[in-house]
Structure 1
C-alpha cells in the first residue's frame, strides 16, 4: 500500500539565495571589500541553511536548566545552556559578530558587514543574537564612557574572536517597578569603608544570565529619586573560582518564546560593582546601548521574516493542492508576494539604520543627521517589529495545519517574533519616545527631506506614483502632528502609534523606490520594483481622526451616552 509522504521544506545557502541582501551589499560596499568578505558571508549562509539549521531542529526540545544546589547543599546557581547555544557562542566569536563592528580598517562599512553576518546567523540560533546585541551595546557604552580601567579590562573580551576569551554582557535594567519606567528602580548602591561599591536589589528580568559581565542601574544611597539619581554600574558576575559574586538566581523565566535564552530573576545582595561614569545620569549613559540593541532588534526582525519566507516558498513549490503546487495557486502567490514586499521594506529600513550608525561612529554624520538617527532608532525598531509578528503569523498560516505543529519547527517563528515589539521598548513606549523628542525639538523636516531625496531618484512611472504616495503619507503625518500639538499633549500621545507607523512605512516605501530604480538601472531586474509597488498597495498612511472621549470609553468599557444625531 502506497501512502502519501509530504516533503518537508528545506533551506539552501542563505547568502546565495538572498537576492535582497546580495543586491544591498553590491550597491553599498566597495567592490574590493565585498570580494574580501564574500567567503565569510558564503560560509555563514551555508551554516545557516545547513549544519546550524539541522542542529536547531535537533535541539528543539532542549532548554536551559538551572541547578541551584549541588549534591552537598552548597548554593551554586549553575545554568546549563543547550547544545545549539554552545555552538552559537563559539561561532559568534570566530566570525566576529561583535568584533567586526569595531574593525577600524573597515571604516563606515563595518556596521553593514557586521549586521549582514548577524542577519544570516540569527534565524538558526534561537535568539543567540540577544546576548550579542547587549555585548555590542556594552562595548560601545564602555568605549564612550572614557573609563580607561574598565575599557582595558572588559572591551578586549567583548571584542575577542577567541571563544576561550570571548565575553558576553548582560543588561540588567528591569525591576518589578517597571521596564521602561526605569526611574522607579529600587536597586541601591552602597559604598564600603574601603571604597568598594556593592549593589542590593532584585532584577526582575535579566536576559543572558550566563554572561560574564553586565551593565546595570542602581541608585547610590543619598541620591534623589527619579532618573537623574540612577548611576550606571559595571558588574563581573563570577569570581576567579567561578562562583557568583553575591548574586542569587531566583528562577529562570517561563516565557512564551525565546526559550533557549536564559532569562532570570536575580537577587543582588552586596554584589561588587564599579561606577562606569560618575554617580548620576546612568540612564543617559546607556543611550548608546539602547541605540544599538534597537538596531539589532530591527535587523533581526527582517532576518526572521526572511527565514519564514524561505521555508514558505520552498514548501509552496512542493505542496500540491487542488492539482497544482501552491506556488501556482493565485491566492497563495498573492499571499507570498505580500510577505516578500513587507520583508524587503523591513530589510531596507533596518540596514539603512545600520549604515547610519556606521557613518556616525566614524564621524561622518552632521549634527542634524545625528538627531535624525536618534529619531530613526525608535521609528524603525517599532515598524519592523510589528511587521515581523504579522509576517510570522501569515507564514505559519501559509503551511496550513503543519504550521501549528511543534515538531515542524515552524511555531517557534511566531513565538520568538512576539518578543521583537516588546524588548528594548514596546511599540507604544517608542512612539511616545518619538513624539516627546519632537516636542522638544521638531526635526521632522529632516525625515521629510530623506524621503524626498529617495523618491526623487525614480524615473520609472510606477515608482514615481508610489513616491507620491510616500510623500503624501509623510505630509499627512506632519500636518497631523502640527494640529495635535495645538490640541494639547494628550492628543499627541493618543495618536503617537499611528503617527510613528506612518512615518516608518513612508520611509520604507521611499527606500524601496530608491533600491528599485537602482536595480532597474544596474541589474535590469524588476523584482525590487515589484516589491515597492506591492508595498504601496499594502497601505502606508495609518493616520486616523482621534476622539479621546470615545477611546477612553472603549478602553474602560464604560457607559457612553447615545448620540442625539447621526454624526455623519
Structure 2
C-alpha cells in the first residue's frame, strides 16, 4: 500500500491550489447555474449552464479515481477507505461536486449488483472510468411533490413499451433533482400493469429505472426543466424541478423491488453525507486553530487562553469522534463488498452497517454542522466574513442534515432496523462494540477501565430502554435521543480502539488519543455532573488541539 500515501499527498497539494480555484469559480455568484428554457425561435431547449469550474471538477474526479478506486479494488476491502480518504481531501474545496459523485458511486453499485448484462456493458464502465471523456455521472430522483422521504406517495408512472427489450416510458414530476446536468439517472416510478391497466400502489408497487438524460441526437430524453431551485447553500450545484413526459428508461432489478434496490444507493450516499460534513468541519477547525495561534488578546494569543483552548478542544473531540464513526462505516462498506457472501464476518458486518449507516448520517451531520457554526464564532467577526470560507462550508454542510433523510427520518429508520430484526441487530451491535472494548482492556486495563465502564453502562441503558418500549409509542418519541446515544457509544468505543492501538504500537500522539477518549466519556454526553477542571486538564486539551509541544 506504499502507493496510497504519495497519492493522498499529491491530492492534498491540489486541493489548496488548482482544485480550490475550481471550487471558487463555482461559488462565484456570477457563475451560478442558469436555465435557458427557450431558444431565439421559441423552441423548448431547457439548457442548464454551469461554471467552468464545475466541468473541471468533474474531470479531476475522474482522473483522481474518486469513484473508480472503490470498484477497481486494487486494495481489496481497504479500497473504500482509500477512496473516501481522497474524497475527504477533495470535498471541502470542490463546491459540492461530491454530490454527483455520491450518486454516481451509488449507481455504480446498483449496476454492479442488479444491472442486466447490457447495463453492465453500457453504463457500469462509464460510471467507474478514470477517463473524463468516458466518465459519466448519475442523478438519483426520488423526491416528488406529495412527499419527500415518503416514497409510497410517488406519482410518477412507468408504462411498458417493449417487454423483450425492457423498454419503458416514464411520465411524472420530480420535485428535487440534484446534479441535474448528470449524464444519466436512477429513478423510482410506479408501474402500470400492461394487462389490466391498473397502477401498482404503495411502496411495493415502485420499481427502479435507469435512464439517460439525452437521446443520441443530443435532445433531452423526455425531460422538461421547469425551474432551478433557489437554495440556502450548494448554490453552484444545479438542482431542478423536472417534468417527465415519455422518458425512455429500462427497469433495474425486479418489478416492485425499487425501494429495496435503491437502498444500495442510499447506503453509500448517506456515508458520503457524513464524510462530507466531517471534512468541512476539518477545514473550518483548521482555520480556527490557525487563527488562535496568531490572534492577540491582551498580552497572549488565543492558543494560550484556557477558555478558548477548551472551546477548540470540544470541537476537536467532535471531529475525532465523527471521523471514527464515519470511517468505521466506510470500513464496513468495504468489507461487505469484498468478503465472500457466505463469510460469517460479512453477515455480521452487513447487520452492523445496516444499523450504523442511519446512525452515522444522523449523528455526524448534526453535531458537525453545529461544530462548524462554533468555529465561525471562534474567529469572532472575522469568522462571519465570506472571504474566510467558514460561512460557505456551513451553508453547504447544512444540506447534509436533510439529504437522504432528515435526522427524524433517519431515527425512524433506526427504529425499523431494530423492530424488523426483533432486537437481533442491537444485540449484534452490542457484541461487536463489547469485543472492541475487551481487546482494549486486555492491552491496557489500567488505562481503559473507567471509560469501558461508562461505555458499557450507556450501552446497557440503551438496550434496556429499547427492549422495554420497542412496541410502544414511547420508543418512537425518544428515537432521536436513542439514535444519538448509539452514535455517542459508537464514537467512544472506536476512540478506545484507536487509543489502544496507538499505545500498543507506540504511535506518536497516543497520549492525546487516550485524553480524547477520556474527555469524550467524561463530559455531559455520558451524564457526568459539572465538575471543576484544573489547568492540567486544560494543558491536555491544548496538546490534543495544537500538538504535544503546546504550552499555556
Displacement, 1:58?
A: 5.2
Displacement, 1:540?
A: 3.4
Post-superposition CA distance 1:511-561 (Å, at most 9, x none): 001101222232142222222222223443489xxxxxxxxxxxxxxxxxx
Q: Does 1:406 align with 2:366?
A: no
Q: Indicate conservation of the 8 Å contact 1:60/1:409, yes or no.
A: no
Q: Does 1:509 align with 2:492?
A: yes
1:281-300 alignment to 2 at 5 Å?
281-300=257-276
1:197 aligns to what SS in structure 2? strand
Displacement, 1:55?
A: 4.2
Counterpart in 2 of 1:30? none
Post-superposition CA distance 1:406-443 (Å, at most 9, x none): 23322112111211111111111111111122112112
Where structure 1 has 5 or more consecutive residues not aligned to the other structure, the ranges are 1-32, 544-568
Distance 1:200 1:146 in 2: 22
Counterpart in 2 of 1:234? 210
1:108-147 alignment to 2 at 5 Å?
108-147=77-116
Structure 2 counterpart of 1:209, from 163, 173, 180: 180
Q: Does 1:265 align with 2:247?
A: no
Runs (4+) of structure 1 moved beyond 3 Å?
54-60, 192-196, 460-463, 537-543
Counterpart in 2 of 1:14? none
Distance 1:65 1:505 in 2: 42
Q: TM-score, normalised by structure 1?
A: 0.86
Q: Does 1:537 align with 2:522?
A: yes
Q: Indicate conservation of the 8 Å contact 1:231/1:279, yes or no.
A: yes
Counterpart in 2 of 1:453? 435
Displacement, 1:37?
A: 1.5
Displacement, 1:460?
A: 6.0
Post-superposition CA distance 1:4-30 (Å, at most 9, x none): xxxxxxxxxxxxxxxxxxxxxxxxxxx
1:105 aligns to what SS in structure 2? coil
Alpha-carbon spacing, 1:301–1:320, altered in 2? closer, same or farther (3 Å)? same
1:174-189 alignment to 2 at 5 Å?
174-189=143-158
Counterpart in 1 of 2:12? 45
Distance 1:430 1:193 in 2: 38
Counterpart in 2 of 1:198? 169
Structure 2 counterpart of 1:436, from 411, 416, 434: 416
Structure 2 counterpart of 1:104, from 57, 70, 73: 73
Alpha-carbon spacing, 1:50–1:332, altered in 2? closer, same or farther (3 Å)? farther
Distance 1:105 1:54 in 2: 31
Distance 1:482 1:152 in 2: 48
Alpha-carbon spacing, 1:57–1:104, altered in 2? closer, same or farther (3 Å)? closer
Q: Indicate conservation of the 8 Å contact 1:316/1:327, yes or no.
A: yes
Where structure 2 has 5 or more consecutive residues not aligned to the other structure, the ranges are 193-197, 529-552
Alpha-carbon spacing, 1:172–1:214, altered in 2? closer, same or farther (3 Å)? same
2:400 aligns to what SS in structure 1? coil
Alpha-carbon spacing, 1:318–1:71, altered in 2? closer, same or farther (3 Å)? farther
Distance 1:149 1:59 in 2: 36
Alpha-carbon spacing, 1:193–1:140, altered in 2? closer, same or farther (3 Å)? closer
Q: Indicate conservation of the 8 Å contact 2:23/2:54, yes or no.
A: no
Q: Give the CA RMSD over aligned residues.
A: 1.8
Q: Does 1:427 align with 2:398?
A: no
Post-superposition CA distance 1:221-258 (Å, at most 9, x none): 12421111011111100112322111011111111111
Q: Indicate conservation of the 8 Å contact 1:184/1:226, yes or no.
A: yes
Distance 2:61 2:189 in 1: 30
Counterpart in 1 of 2:43? 74
Q: Indicate conservation of the 8 Å contact 1:201/1:268, yes or no.
A: yes
Equivalent residue pairs, number: 508
Q: Does 1:466 align with 2:433?
A: no
Structure 1 counterpart of 2:133, from 149, 157, 164: 164
Q: Indicate conservation of the 8 Å contact 2:190/2:199, yes or no.
A: yes
Distance 2:91 2:137 in 1: 16
Distance 2:485 2:518 in 1: 17
Displacement, 1:360?
A: 0.7
Counterpart in 1 of 2:466? 481
Please, which moves more after superposition, 517-526 or 183-192?
517-526
Counterpart in 2 of 1:389? 369
Please, which moves more after superposition, 70-79 or 369-378?
70-79
Counterpart in 1 of 2:549? none
Post-superposition CA distance 1:230-288 (Å, at most 9, x none): 11111100112322111011111111111111111100011111111232121111111
Q: Indicate conservation of the 8 Å contact 1:502/1:542, yes or no.
A: no
Displacement, 1:302?
A: 1.6
Distance 1:126 1:319 in 2: 28
Structure 2 counterpart of 1:521, from 504, 523, 534: 504
Post-superposition CA distance 1:286-335 (Å, at most 9, x none): 11111111111122122111111111111111221223222221111111
